[in-house]
Amino acid sequence: MFCFGQHDASNIVAIPDWIVEVGLPIQLSVEPVDGSSELPFRWLHSGRYLAYATDATNSSTRLVNLHVYHPRTNRNQKITSNSSAYQFSDRSIYYIKEQEMENELTRVVVQYNPTVGRERVLYTVREPVPEEPPAPCSVRLEVSPKERLLLMKSNRESVLLDIQTGKPLPLPSPEVFIPTNFYDDQTLEGYRYGKAEDRRLESLRLHLPSGEIIPAGGYSLRPTPVPQSKGNLELRIEQGALYLISKTSSADRHRRVFLTRDYSVLFRAPVMVMGTDEAVPPALEEPLPRAEIAPDESGMVIVSVHDQLYYVPLTKRQPADMTEAIACGEHPDEEMLRKQFLSNAKVISLALMMYVQDWEEHFPFAGDVPSMIMPYIKNEGVFRDPITGQMVFRYLLNGESFSEIENPALTQVGVLDWGHPTHVVAIYADGHVKFVPRQ
């Protein structure tokens, strides 16, 4: 269960020139996300769409349902059911549909671009259905870094496709080279079995334009790296809770927002190196949340402990006051600070007048006066220095009756003292405020 805002009074963080408000979470999936994938989601088109996979609960085999969420319109769309393999890229979703009809098994490789909103068939394989059930066929898809090529790999065959034309490209025989993944758009990494006496794996690279196969120097099947935020925001685990952190805020008060304790984490096991008996340590020194901020920082996605997917909108707005403006990187001069403290003093003065009216014409007793008058303000920032966040309000009375004060226009109720060498802002019993010399 999400518990937004229970640990922090504010749901905002500051980045240069903008305040980012954290919205309420939207549950996207009732069924659990794909349990076989480390990150069963992907932001498409820089955050304009969110693609994700959920388990097909009505299937006894490992099949998934694929979805696209449109944050701008809050529309959640299922694009296919019971897919046997899929791969997300920056722009499209690639997946396999399987259908058995009239003693023929059809396997179709499909590309779906949410901007266009329709499927495009890239490749079709038809084969007769055997009389006896065959061994399970595990299929995996992988897209090259610049989305030019698609590798469809199974324990039976490997097919390399040109995405633009949908035509298969030639690959060496399995005895010579078995592809595993892309090194870049022109190079495949893979392996072949060694001599019959040891059958050790030899790691290789295939240069596609020339067809040359070269040793890869102990290449290991490392997992997909976890995307790291390159913007102003990041997600971080602190004391067991998940926080949204601003990497650029100039004030501690607007640096982080508590999100939830209901999140799942990503662990990784050591990976065996091809051709050796060695294991590579996991890429992560500590568990990371299965969560990610959109590239345009317009929202974030979080997988809960129960493997359900949530979208959290992030809304940018202009700073509403000087405290927020300073947190966003603005550097105020002395005149701006003076105007801000006078404005804060007027807010405090009005709250004190309202308190006096509600408490039989008596001012508060000495003590935690900000808490006493907070119901009339609802903004603790008026008592604090907008730069340091330190409390600068000092109360001067102790429960006096308004009628007992001989000259309210000359009687100070409190002051805002932020360390100015010669002046403070005084709040008077009649309600006016004034920039006065320090006494």
Query: pTM score, two decimals?
Result: 0.78
Query: Residue 397 has which token pair?
Result: 């009375």
What are the 10-residue block averages of pLDDT along the chain, 439 residues in total?
A: 49 93 93 83 94 78 88 94 89 88 82 93 81 63 94 86 93 91 91 70 90 74 53 91 91 87 72 49 63 94 93 94 86 88 95 96 95 91 87 96 94 94 95 93
Whole-number pLDDT of residue 127: 74
As beta bridge partners, residue 119 has 112
**393 neighbors 416 (Cβ within 8 angstroms):** yes
Whole-number pLDDT of residue 219: 46
**392 neighbors 426 (Cβ within 8 angstroms):** no
* Alpha carbon 177 to chain centroid, angstroms: 39
350-363 in b/e form (b: 16+ CB < 10 A) is: ebbbebbeeeeebb
Calpha distance 194→203 (Å, rounded): 10
Q: Which residue is associated with the tokens 């749901």?
A: 11
Alpha helices in 118-159 (DSSP H): none
Query: Residue 413 has which token pair?
Result: 């109720």
**Burial zone of 327 (CB within 10 Å; 0-12 exposed, 13-18 middle, 19+ buried):** buried
Whole-number pLDDT of residue 196: 60
Q: N- to C-terminal Cα distance for the chain?
A: 54
Whole-number pLDDT of residue 436: 95
The 3-class secondary structure across 144-169, one letter per residue, is CCCCCEEEEEECCCEEEEECCCCCEE
Up-side HSE of residue 384: CA atoms within 13 Å toward CB? 16
Calpha distance 116→44 (Å, rounded): 13
As beta bridge partners, residue 189 has 181, 205
DSSP assignment of 107-130: EEEEEEETTTTEEEEEEEEEEEPP
Whole-number pLDDT of residue 221: 47
Neighbours of 13 (CB within 10 A): 27
Whole-number pLDDT of residue 223: 46
